Structure 1
Amino acid sequence: MDEHTDETESDWRSQSNERDESNDTPSLSRRTYCKALGAVGLAGSASIPEPVTAASGIHSVGNGSYTHAKPSGEDEPPTTLYTTGNVGGPMPSNDWWSSALVTGYSENLFFHPGFALADGTGLQVGHPTTWNYPGADAKMNVERDFTLGHTATTFADTRVDGYSDWSVTLKWDTGTGTTLTASLTKGSPYIFCEYDGGGAELEFRTAPTVWDDRGTSSD
């Protein structure tokens, strides 16, 4: 029994050695493997371009950069800003009211919950409550509810007369005797207006429902 066991173990060792000798796969130590990875990493990093320097007009700042050169195909910044003498210095170019600086009137100004738009008749005001879906977009319906106008005139332009972190003041026909000044504040439903040379004129898109003075008040 013991002799048979010894022969079996001897045969197993012999077969195991034959398998080891027939294995052509080279063995790598962990240190050799890490060295190989490091060499590949250094070779790959050689293809990464160097940062663009100030010599090409691009200036690196931290992880970003800036340039004084206008990108090809882009328009120049506007040279005329519509402001009154109450406003000067660098102006914000991407605020919710910034279109009033460069258009002579304004695009839609979303002061929430309403929107306003300055034009030659005054200030158009609306309260969007419905959505429309042009193509793949979803947009609020921005039809005006009424226009704040002037009893004596229409207007040649609108200018920014002041601003803060949350508000903007617009002035129509600066330098004339008939002006409208309107202040809008982000998040407020109220618009504060002042008039020179006339008074307020309200024009509604549709006939409004008047809820005041229905005989329930003693005033």
Structure 2
Amino acid sequence: MARQLQVNEKQILQKINFLDSVGPQSWSDYEAYARCLFYLGEAEKAKAYFLEAAKRIVNLIAVFERKNRKEFVRLKLVQANYYRLAGEKRQSVKQYAELRDLYLNMFETDYEGDQDRAIGILNNLSYCHFFLEDYEKSIRFGKMVSEWEPISLGYSEGIFLQDKKRIESTLDDVIKEIKREKSVPYDTGAEVSLWDWYEIGRELLE
């Protein structure tokens, strides 16, 4: 299976032109703009837009801080990914560590260790440990997710077990999912987008 997706540059330019015409306002606008720039070969320029997205999502995070703990933590995970994509490793690692602790507390208290009810929490715990490079724990929590296989689980197993084929098969699954969902590179709002996982997989195979 070919492991390189063809990016529709015309579609990306149309998105950029639209955002330019209205002026990016929200965190999701800035995320979309950053992702477009990345796939137009402007990775360094994209970093500033990811940082602006991280700044602008703060107000939404604050809205959910008292109303909905689960969504509050999820949005903080989205923000951590912006820091990661902006190259702010220290900030992203700090936030992933904080979120790891929050998710673990939620699993043990809010969900009383009930794996069936807490699959989303466990999925994101696996994500946090992956980006903290604690692959053994990423595997542990990933395997506790009963209804699907977290992408972080596949990559973590590949790294931890030094199994290149596991990374390849996980990347193949990501590509299939991108095609199935007809996902575009500038999709926004995910904790880690499918296109992020695509790029991570390609980097792991370099």
Fold similarity call, TM over 0.5: no
The structure with more strand, counted as a fraction of residues: 1
The structure with more helix, counted as a fraction of residues: 2
Bigger relative contact order, structure 1 or 2, given CA contacts below 8 A and separation 6+? Answer: 2
When Rg is computed on C-alpha atoms for both structures, the one with the higher figure is: 1
| TM-score, length basis structure 1 | 0.19
